[in-house]
């Protein structure tokens, strides 16, 4: 007698296989809808960037007075770099080369603004740090406003300070404020690639395009559909074998 058939002739229903298939389909559908959400978010972000790039550059005080998220607004500020310290944002890769992003405090009136000046290549030895020269006179900077996001996968373990150069793993405004003993504005300035100061800059507000997220969503939905078809075919074959037995 076929193993799928009980002694009374009834066919055992594959509960375990059904539960596994159901869980797999639900997970794949959730991942597909999550990709759609990400695609919609990226589309909205790109629209926001386009809209705000057409707005005249704002001052620090104008940014602070906004009733909305300041991300992607253009900002211009005149002041001087804080001479005592600057930060090196660790593990930044550009053109398959490892380096740092140089983030320096910039004094704008009574405010202290962090400015991301761009990427520099790391020395061969981890013990060495790149030598950075900042302007000593008053300068005018312009670029795009960005609010640092907390990365749950990054642990701020390396906070080495060598002669006023602090290597950090991420931009943590609270910790950096304590490090320089000055309150920091709740956003940073990403220096414009057109500005004569700074280093290599290739800012990407959106790393993955909405189209890629849609492509991934289609893949997950396709896998869910394939899983359902395979399950149905397997069940049908099981019952056919049971009837033959």
- Residue 161 scores a pLDDT above 70: no
What is the value of pTM for the model shown?
A: 0.70
- Range scoring the smallest mean pLDDT among 3-12, 53-62, 223-232: 3-12
Give per-residue pLDDT as tens, 83-140. Answer: 878 899 988 888 888 899 999 999 998 999 999 999 989 888 888 888 888 888 899 9
Could you give the C-alpha distances from 216 to 46, 126, 174, 224, in angstroms and in order?
19, 38, 36, 12
Place of tokens 């704002």: 58
Residue 174: both structure tokens together: 């609270």
Helices (H), the chain: 15-53, 60-64, 173-180, 210-244
What are the sequence ranges of the domains in the chain? 1-58+206-245, 73-191
DSSP notation for 22-66:
HHHHHHHHHHHHHHHHHHHHHHHHHHHHHHHHTSPPBPHHHHHT-
pLDDT of residue 162: 64
Sign of CA dihedral 44, 50, 54, 59: positive
């Amino acid at each position: 007698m076929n193993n799928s058939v009980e002694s009374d002739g009834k066919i055992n229903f594959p509960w375990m296989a059904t539960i596994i298939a159901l869980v797999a389909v639900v997970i794949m559908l959730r991942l597909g809808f999550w990709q759609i959400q990400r695609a919609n978010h990226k589309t909205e972000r790109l629209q926001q960037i386009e809209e705000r790039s057409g707005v005249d550059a704002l001052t620090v005080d104008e940014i602070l007075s906004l009733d909305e998220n300041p991300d992607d607004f253009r900002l211009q500020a005149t002041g001087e770099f804080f001479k005592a310290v600057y930060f090196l944002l660790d593990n930044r890769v550009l053109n398959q080369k490892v380096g740092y992003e140089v983030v320096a405090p910039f004094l704008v009136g009574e405010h202290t603004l962090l400015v991301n000046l761009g990427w520099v290549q790391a020395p061969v030895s981890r013990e060495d740090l790149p030598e950075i020269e900042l302007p000593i006179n008053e300068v005018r900077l312009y670029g795009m406003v960005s609010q640092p996001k907390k990365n749950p996968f990054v642990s701020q373990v390396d906070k080495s300070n060598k002669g006023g150069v602090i290597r950090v793993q991420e931009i943590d405004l609270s910790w950096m404020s304590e490090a320089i003993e000055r309150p920091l504005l709740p956003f940073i300035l990403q220096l414009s690639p057109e500005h004569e100061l700074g280093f290599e800059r290739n800012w990407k507000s959106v790393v993955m395009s909405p189209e890629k997220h849609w492509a991934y969503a289609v893949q997950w939905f396709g896998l869910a559909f394939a899983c359902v078809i395979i399950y149905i075919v397997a069940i049908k074959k099981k019952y056919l074998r049971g009837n033959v037995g």
